[in-house]
Chains A and B, each alone.
Chain A
Amino acid sequence: MTSLYLGRAIGRGIVVAAMTASLLTSSVLAAPPVDLSKWSPEYVRSIAGTEEFDTAADCAKVTPLDYTGRLTFWYQGVFEGDPDLLRQYYKDFFEAFRATYPNIVLEEQALTYNDLLDKFRTALLGNAGPMVVRLQILGGVEFASKGYLQELKPEDVGYSTEDFWPGAMKSVTWDGKTYGVPTNNETMAFIWNADVFKRAGLDPEKAPATWDDVVKYSKQIHDTLGISGYGLVARKNAGNTPYRFMPQLWGYGGGVFDEATASPTYSQVELNSPQSKAALQASYDMYVRDKSVPVSALTNQQADNQPLFLAGQLGMMISHPSDYNVMLDLQKKATGGDQEKAQTVIDNMRYGLVPTGPDGKRAVVFGGSNIHILQPEYVDGGKVDEPAAKAMVCFWTSPEWSLKMAYAGSNPGNLNGFKTKWMKERLDSIRFLDVTTSMLPYGVPFPALPETPEIMNIIVPDMLQNALTGTMTVDEAADDAAKKVEEIMGGGGL
């Protein structure tokens, strides 16, 4: 662990402290629409369907419905691992927006999670960006810090900052200013196949309590049944990798910095701490020592684990609530005996909380996406149609659409979404939603730093790959990754 530049650290500390203070203060002044201290599946059920919202009427206060304009919009859209249900909601959203704002010419472009950042960065270099962009949660600060984004807070589109998760607001905040509005927030859960557990001699109704148990269960499943135990993912440049490894890293008490603490300062690199090394060792034990996880973990994404799970070839994995719907979609596409086999797996799907570390620490990535408006000079054509842009932001972050667009795979960014009738409907129709919703309070946001995408998409997966391929020992891989983080935080590094 090495101290980074003191001045920068103190500066960040002040900013984070100020941010925390402002969040606390503002929550006293304007209470959130839901009581976050009471958060539980029962509480979520009790508030669902208790309030009606009229999106068109709300957004008309921001941008008149007869407004004539033009809007270019890029967004992180659905990809191969998403359920069909979500595809339909995306279609419905754009139809509804066009019907509500018939005079706004909308040119939207969907990009997958792994392509969006690269394409957006390239477009910005040529001043050819869209007017509005919906980015993954770890992307916003990078672009805000470079001056590409306009200041934008929920109040600018008719909502209140307290309508959104404090953790989500952190991800759109840079140097004390707000640069976007959260669209959806998600925390994953732990999913397992009860039938596989039973056949492997494990309690079919009980998830592994700790990450050490995951290692043990994975080995037991593999040794008994000859299939993969845990669905490890360690591909580089794939969002799935940090979303699955960081909960493990935090659970063991490690981290890239101190991002898992209540008031992070990001002043010290912790990737090579004993706790972080213990987390990496757990992955090493599963992949190298026990060979109890998919060999393809180094080139795989979660979308590759889904068919393995459905085929009964994988015992457990970290996943979205949407995986239940994904499995239903995949099962429909199966034929003959495979369909029956898939149904057995679906019937045996169980969701539980993500395991804890040895000290009882439970953590999960506080994921999701945010929507931003760009500075005109970086937009294709050099102009931003502000009213049209705000209409889009208002529409997507409304209680109605922030819930519908996150129907199967995530949770509404706007907390009022939990009060809508669609939330009630969702609780009744999406199995296991309770569990993933219960994980929300354990959500840890990625470090709010411009360097975070590189750390999460490249350095952390590199660390895993170096250790799992035997290119480096666990200690060397962790030290190497810590050194790389220190270098980039100091403005250097190849």
Chain B
Amino acid sequence: MTPVTGQYDAPRQKQRERSGILEQMWLNRFDYLYVLPAILVMLIVIAYPIYYTIDLSFFKTPPSLQLRDKIFVGTDNYAAILSSDVFWRVTMNTVVWTIASTLFAFVLGLGAALALHREFVGRGVLRAILIIPWVISAVAASYIWKWIYHSDFGVIGAVLVGLGLTDRPPNFIDSVNTVLPSLIVVNVWREFPFAMIMLMAGLQTVPEQLLRAATVDGAGAWQRFWHVTFPHLRSVSTVTILLLAVANFNSFIIPWIMTGGGPASASHIWITHIYELAFGRQRWGVAAAYSVLLFLILMAFGYFYVRALSGSERKDHGE
């Protein structure tokens, strides 16, 4: 019968904890006052837009009406989106775009980081050169690549025709089959330096003694990488992959400038499609519903990101 006492004690314990928290808050009230402006700003610039977008997603906004005259339609926008062919096509493009861009940028970044981790003449210069794609403006990069890819007078086409390898310049961005892979190449080119920098920082944490010990034990290059280096990079790799995935899911500039989502919507990803729905077609309600879905997916990424960060922090503290 002893548990009975415990059952009576539990609410009191909770009450004590609650009053303890309130007491703590009261004791630290000035600290809260200091962070209040920041909290208010966050509420205005983050919480309100989120609330407004969710609210707007339940309304219809025909192009002939002002936004303030919007019509309540409940969950119709969500139903319309989920039952539309375009949604699934754009979602497939987004998945391919995000996974391929993230994967290739990470792998290329890892290779570059490993190569640049060794001492050699000109390492600094090479590192600076490799960072260039990441630091130049995405808008400028998009226009440059558009010119490189141009189906009539592009640089690649001119070189290939000049070398006699083909009669006509290859069609990179004016074909529904090649446009997405072509844009992914540009995106990977722009993003791999970010992965490289993150992983180079991670490589600094790999203990030299372990690598030397592994060498003494007869481990080859691949075994040293797989059993010593890579486990030390796991946390930074997780964070890098998550950050790249979120950035790619949210990508706008490259596909919008280079193709505007075309041809025939073959390079439309969620963000460009949402932009077109909202600003080109004034379907604010549908665009808001899309944004809410995107928000939920990104929140899931965010959750894993925070988990990965706290995991690495715990590890740093030897927990």
Q: Which residues of A contact B174 (CB under 8 A)?
A: 295-299
Q: Is B222 interfacial (CB 8 A cutoff)?
A: no
Q: How far is the CB of A182 from chain B (nearest CB, A)?
A: 23
Is there an interface contact between A145 and B151, defined as CB atoms closer than 8 Å?
no
**Interfacial residues of chain B within 244-302, with CB under 8 A of chain A in the complex:** 258-266, 276-277, 279-283, 286
Given contacts A295-B174, A458-B280, A494-B283, contact A466 B264 (CB under 8 A): yes
Interface size of A by Cβ–Cβ distance < 8 Å?
Answer: 45
Given contacts A296-B152, A494-B86, contact A468 B282 (CB under 8 A): no
Q: Is B213 interfacial (CB 8 A cutoff)?
A: no
Q: Is B2 interfacial (CB 8 A cutoff)?
A: no
Is there an interface contact between A147 and B66, defined as CB atoms closer than 8 Å?
yes
Q: Which residues of B contact A466 (CB under 8 A)?
A: 264
User: Bound complex: CA of A294 vs CA of B81, how far in Å?
Assistant: 35
Given contacts A298-B174, A299-B174, contact A494 B84 (CB under 8 A): yes
Is there an interface contact between A451 and B277, defined as CB atoms closer than 8 Å?
no
Given contacts A125-B67, A142-B63, A450-B63, contact A299 B263 (CB under 8 A): yes
Given contacts A142-B63, A298-B174, A451-B63, contact A465 B279 (CB under 8 A): no
Is there an interface contact between B146 and A450, defined as CB atoms closer than 8 Å?
no
**Interfacial residues of chain A within 448-470, with CB under 8 A of chain B in the complex:** 450-451, 454, 457-458, 461-462, 465-466, 468-470
Binary flags per residue of A160-195, CB closer than 8 Å to B gives 1, else 0: 000000000000000000000000000000000000
Binary flags per residue of B62-76, CB closer than 8 Å to A gives 1, else 0: 111111000000000
User: Bound complex: CA of A297 vs CA of B151, how far in Å?
Assistant: 9
Q: How far is the CB of B218 from chain A (nearest CB, A)?
A: 56
Q: Is A219 interfacial (CB 8 A cutoff)?
A: no
Name the residue on B nearest A148 (C-beta).
Answer: B66
Determine which residue in B62, B63, B65, B86 has the highest number of CB atoms from chain A within 10 A of its CB, and name it.
B63
Q: How far is the CB of A129 from chain B (nearest CB, A)?
A: 13
Q: Is A118 interfacial (CB 8 A cutoff)?
A: yes
Q: Which residues of A contact B86 (CB under 8 A)?
A: 494
Name the residue on B nearest A119 (C-beta).
Answer: B279
Q: Is A491 interfacial (CB 8 A cutoff)?
A: yes
Q: Which residues of A contact B175 (CB under 8 A)?
A: 469
Is there an interface contact between B263 and A469, defined as CB atoms closer than 8 Å?
yes
Q: Which residues of A contact B265 (CB under 8 A)?
A: 462, 465
Can you list 12 A-B pairs, Cβ within 8 angstroms, ordered by A? A146-B64, A236-B261, A237-B280, A238-B260, A295-B168, A295-B174, A298-B174, A451-B63, A465-B265, A471-B176, A471-B264, A494-B277
Q: Which residues of A contact B (CB under 8 A)?
A: 118, 121-122, 125, 142, 145-148, 228, 234-238, 294-299, 304, 307-308, 311, 313, 450-451, 454, 457-458, 461-462, 465-466, 468-472, 488, 491-494
A sample of 18 more A-B contacts (CB under 8 A), given A299-B174, A450-B64, is A121-B282, A148-B66, A236-B262, A296-B150, A296-B151, A298-B263, A299-B146, A299-B151, A299-B259, A308-B152, A313-B152, A313-B153, A454-B63, A458-B276, A458-B281, A465-B264, A494-B81, A494-B286
6 closest Cβ pairs, A-B complex: A295-B151, A298-B263, A296-B151, A471-B264, A465-B264, A118-B279
